[in-house]
């Protein structure tokens, strides 16, 4: 006698199936809306920064200079640093993108956006931050800013994206983190020494824009490991076309495909019993 399906399980499966379409719609709308953007810089930072804060004014000026240099500016579309960056780009007549997020508590969207998108899913929004940016500038911020910073440097360290310039604005804020990475993570071999060179600290809008331009022309970070160097490819290979060199494994969302993990042959990894299938 066949077992009757669990109504609750069937209901959950139906909800999940429809959720796939909602997720897909966010990617489709994001790709179609942002596709015309050729060159942009993503700016991260706190939503709590006030308009009279020096960091707000610095973010506004940085975005203004980027817009004058023909860069689009991408932010999370909210208040604080995000508003400052959108305002700087908007006032300079540049492309000012806001990738807004729906939260359980109401999020205020700033009014300085020439392109505005709304997201329910953080991960779809994060793809847009990375896919359409050629550089990243992180201003002081909280958990959200730190999450965005670490996710971006992880994508670079693991060779999932090109080593685009990453700048941390405000050495007074970021120096402690840099010293912790250098003094704790590196000595314990949780990161390689060269991984600490993926990002740089800056203190002025002029220096930030100059390093963005330099870092785009010639990436300042490359892995030292020979196998990783080979996987990363060269700038010449990247320029050869999407089906050649390191770019041959490029995915549609702006990252690279990888290889399936192989089973470890190390002695300590020997299986004591057959794994469950």
- pLDDT value for 221: 87
What is the CA 258 to chain-centroid distance, rounded?
Answer: 18
Sheet containing 96-101: order of strands: 115-119, 96-101, 72-75, 40-44, 135-138, 166-169, 199-202
pLDDT at 112: 98
Please state, as a whole number, how many other Cβ atoms lie within 10 Å of the Cβ of residue 277: 3
Supply the DSSP string of the chain, one letter for each residue: -PPPPPHHHHHHHHHHHHHHHHHHHHHHHHHHHHTT--SEEEEE--S---TTSHHHHHHHHHHHHHHHTT-EEEE-SSSTHHHHHHHHHHHTT--EEEEEE--SS--PPPS--SEEEEES-HHHHHHHHHHT-SEEEE-S-SHHHHHHHHHHHHHHHTTSS----EEEE-HHHHHHHHHHIIIIITTTTSS-GGGGGSEEEE-SHHHHHHHHHHHHHS-S----SHHHHHHH--HHHHHH-TTSGGGGGB-TTS-B--PPPPPP--GGG--SSPPP-
Distance CA 244, CA 91 (A): 40
Q: What is the pTM of this model?
A: 0.83
Phi, psi of 250 (to 5 degrees): -70, 140
Please report, to the nearest 10 degrees, the dihedral formed by the alpha carbons of residues 45, 49, 52, 54 taken in order.
-40
Sign, CA dihedral 119-103-132-197, equals negative
User: What integer pLDDT is reported at residue 3 of this predicted model?
Assistant: 62
Structurally, at CATH architecture level, domain 26-221 sits in 3-Layer(aba) Sandwich (3.40)
Residue whose token pair is 């069937």: 10
Q: How far apart are CA 271 and CA 267, in angstroms?
A: 9
Give me the tens of pLDDT residue by residue for the chain, a chain 277 residues long.
556 666 655 667 778 888 899 999 999 999 999 999 999 999 999 999 999 999 999 999 999 999 999 999 999 999 999 999 999 999 999 999 999 999 887 678 999 999 999 999 999 999 999 999 999 999 999 999 999 999 999 999 999 999 999 999 999 999 999 999 999 999 999 999 999 999 999 999 999 999 999 999 998 887 766 555 565 665 555 444 444 445 555 665 566 666 666 666 666 656 666 655 5
Please state, in angstroms and rounded to a whole number, the distance separating the CA atoms of residues 92 and 89: 5
pLDDT for position 244: 46
Q: What is the pLDDT of residue 15?
A: 80
What is the Cα–Cα distance from 207 to 78, expressed in whole angstroms?
25
Judge whether 194 and 223 are in contact, CB under 8 Å.
yes
The residues spanned by each domain of the chain are 26-221, 223-259
Q: What are phi and psi of 139, to 5 degrees?
A: -90, 165
């Amino acid at each position: 006698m066949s077992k009757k399906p669990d109504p609750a399980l069937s209901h959950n499966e139906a909800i999940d199936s429809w959720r796939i379409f909602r997720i897909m719609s966010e990617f489709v709308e994001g790709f179609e809306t942002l596709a015309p953007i050729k060159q942009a810089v993503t700016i991260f930072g706190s939503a709590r920064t006030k308009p009279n804060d020096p960091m707000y004014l610095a973010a506004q000026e940085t975005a203004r200079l980027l817009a004058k240099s023909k860069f689009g500016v991408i932010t999370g579309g909210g208040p604080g640093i995000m508003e400052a960056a959108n305002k700087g780009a908007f006032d300079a007549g540049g492309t000012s993108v806001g990738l807004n997020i729906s939260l359980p508590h109401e999020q205020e969207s700033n009014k300085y956006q020439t392109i505005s998108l709304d997201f329910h899913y953080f991960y779809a929004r994060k793809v847009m931050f990375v896919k359409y940016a050629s550089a990243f500038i992180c201003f002081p911020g909280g958990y959200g800013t730190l999450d965005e910073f670490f996710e971006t440097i992880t994508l670079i360290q693991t060779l999932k994206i090109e080593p685009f310039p990453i700048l941390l604005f405000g050495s007074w804020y970021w120096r402690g983190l840099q010293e912790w990475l250098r003094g704790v993570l590196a000595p314990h071999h949780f990161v390689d020494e060269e991984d600490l060179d993926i990002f740089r600290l800056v203190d002025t809008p002029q220096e930030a824009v100059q390093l963005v331009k330099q870092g785009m022309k010639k990436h300042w970070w490359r892995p030292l490991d020979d196998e990783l160097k080979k996987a990363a490819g060269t700038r010449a290979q990247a320029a050869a076309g999407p089906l050649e060199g390191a770019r041959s494994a490029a995915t549609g969302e702006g990252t690279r495909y990888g290889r399936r993990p192989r089973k470890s042959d190390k002695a300590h990894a020997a299986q004591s019993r057959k794994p469950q299938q």
